[in-house]
Amino acid sequence: MPPDVLHFRPLLSPLVQFSYPLTIQAQENQPCIHKHWQGMKGMNLTKKKLIPILVLILSTITILRLMSITVKSSPSSPVISALFLAPQHNCSSPLCSKEASQAPGSSENPTKPPNTTTTLTVKEFKVLADLIALKSPCNLLIFGFQPQYLILSYMNAAGSTIFLEDDPDKISTVRIDSNNTQIHKLEYNMPAKAAYKLLKHARQNPAACAPNPRSLQKSKCKLALKNLPSQVYEKNWDVMVVDGPRGDSPESPGRMESIYTASVLARAWNTSDVVVHDVDRMIEKWFSWEFLCDENLLYSKGKLWHFRIRGPSNSTRFCPAGASSTTGKNY
């Protein structure tokens, strides 16, 4: 922390500011000095006695001037405060990412378009951190990768964490030194602009797109992710986070497949918590209402929706009849 600085107004403030060199002031104040010198002659003061006094006065002025500068440049200044309050990244855990040490918006390759995927706010991240603290050790599956999520993996060190990421650049920046944490690359087949057609396909093919975890790898539903690592289908996931792929433009991969797949996997276990990020976007809203169901919404904070899915179930529907909506509630 910066040292505390005593704030006060100098008693000799007129002497602190110099608008021009001292020699010019001395020339302008020459008549006064002459009169003062004549008066001092009457007091039998010599030059040798006067010099220490002048040195003391000039030293006092210099000290006051320095104190004034220190007070003005204290951390109350917006620029200095920003420097003191800037986050310091300390990667002391066994899970580290080069991205965590970069400033927001920075990029090693200036020619590459910036990744516009939003990170979690403090309040949103607290929702996830509290959930992992409650569930750990647990099985944690995360669609997408952000440096923030390494903290969740570290909190769940005694459990199992798997990241599923489609961006090879993100994967190359991650160094994972933990046997209980893995990151896998996958390919998404559908761009965000195909969201409505996929939703229509799911509604017109309820048998193929039914919530059956056992047939997910062989599913004929266009929304099913069938190219995941085998352990993803075999584990019972306590917590799943959907924050990938990017889905921030019509041509980029959308989150239709990841939301659908997470909703199917959630029904293979007694209770699974599914958290979807960026629900301010239409695709995330539509597919969360359709496959995670409004009635299962447990908590919302910022752009996060936290669903709790209770299973297993033999139902061929994700949501009760008439419960699915594309208008939904405004949380």
The alpha carbon dihedral of 15, 20, 23, 26 has a sign of: negative
Dist. CA 192–CA 282, nearest whole Å: 10
Q: Classify the phi-psi angles of 247: left when phi > 0, otherwise alpha if psi is within -120 to 50, otherwise beta.
A: left
Q: Which amino acid is at 193?
A: K
Tell me the whole-structure pTM to 2 decimals.
0.65
State residue 326's pLDDT score: 41
State residue 287's pLDDT score: 98
User: Which residue, among 217, 240, 214, has the nearest Cα to 227 in the 3D structure?
Assistant: 217
DSSP annotation of 250 reads T
Residue 187 burial (10 A CB sphere; 0-12, 13-18, 19+) = exposed
Tokens representing residue 160 in the block: 């199992």
Dist. CA 65–CA 239, nearest whole Å: 61
User: Which residue, among 329, 330, 310, has the nearest Cα to 268 in the 3D structure?
Assistant: 310
List, in sequence order, every residue forming a beta bridge with 161; answer none if it has no partner: 140, 181
State residue 15's pLDDT score: 41
State residue 78's pLDDT score: 35
The alpha carbon dihedral of 326, 296, 138, 316 has a sign of: negative
3-class state of residue 318 by DSSP: coil
Dist. CA 127–CA 149, nearest whole Å: 12
State residue 155's pLDDT score: 96
Q: Is the peptide bond before 206 cis (omega within 30 degrees of 0)?
A: no
Dist. CA 249–CA 116, nearest whole Å: 10
Per-residue pLDDT of the chain (331 residues; tens, 9 = 90+): 444 444 444 444 444 343 444 444 444 445 544 554 455 454 555 666 677 777 778 777 776 665 554 434 333 333 323 322 333 334 444 444 444 333 333 333 433 344 445 689 999 999 999 999 999 999 999 999 998 999 999 999 999 999 999 999 888 888 777 789 999 999 998 999 999 999 999 999 999 999 988 889 999 999 999 999 999 999 999 999 999 999 999 999 999 999 999 999 999 888 999 999 999 999 999 999 999 999 999 999 999 999 999 877 777 889 987 654 443 443 3
Whether the Cβ atoms of residue 176 and residue 142 lie closer than 8 Å to each other: no
Q: Which amino acid is at 176?
A: I
